[in-house]
Structures are given as C-alpha cells and as structure tokens.
Amino acid sequence: MSQGLLRPVPRLFPALVLAGVSFALWAAWLGWDQQRDVQPDGSTTGPYEAWQVGGLVLSLLVPVYWAASRHHVAAAVAGTTVGLTLAAYGDWSDDASGLFMVGVTLVMLGSLAATAAVSAVIRAATRA
C-alpha cells in the first residue's frame, strides 16, 4: 500500500475523536432520559431537562478547546457536529410523528454554528 493513501488518516483522527466523544457525551447526558413529564394541566414537556442540556454543552467545551487550541478548528467543528447529529438521529428516529428530522437538522445547524463560533474564539485567544 502506498503512503499516499494513508496520508489523510492523521488529519482525520482529531475529527473522528471529536465525533466519538460528542456521541458519547450525548449518550451520557441525554441518552438515558426518554420519559416525557406530564404537567398538572395535561401538557407534556421533555424528555430532557435544562440541566442535562447545559451539562452536555459544558462537557463539550473541553474536547472542542483541546482540538481548537491545537490548530484543529475544522476537526473541532466537523467532528462535534457529526457526533451530535448522529446521536440525535439515533435517539429520535423512533418518533412516530415523523418530524424527528426537523429536530436533527436543527441540532446539526445549531451545533455547526455554535462550535464554529466557539472554536474561532478559542483559536484567536490561544494565538495571542
């Protein structure tokens, strides 16, 4: 096998690590909670609480900082976005309404925008 075929592997490694870590963090913070809460008026909320989503976001700052501060900004953005999108798809794909793809798309777009902004700030701060 030629060395040219193996050249992209080291460049993909940080993105793959970030995707795996993001997927695992989703499972740890959100994956176990599948019950909707019924309010006294009959409406439902959930299944996630605000503290769970906040914990996921704060936990994701560590691997994103790690990657962005080591000049892997694209890997931080792409890996985190892919991991969260795949986790949301897996978690919500059994939704009977068929609207789960709207939520998955919003997770993808939101994580892409937020991770890009946070990565740019981290990269600018560590460059100085």
Q: What is the pLDDT along the chain (128 residues), one digit of tens a residue?
A: 456 666 666 778 999 999 999 999 999 999 887 777 788 888 877 788 899 999 999 999 999 999 999 999 999 999 999 999 999 999 988 888 888 999 999 999 999 999 999 999 999 998 86
Q: How much is the pTM?
A: 0.87
CA atoms in the 13 A half-sphere facing the CB of 113: 5
Listed in sequence order, the DSSP H helices in the chain are: 3-6, 8-26, 50-69, 73-92, 100-127
Longest Cα separation, the chain: 66
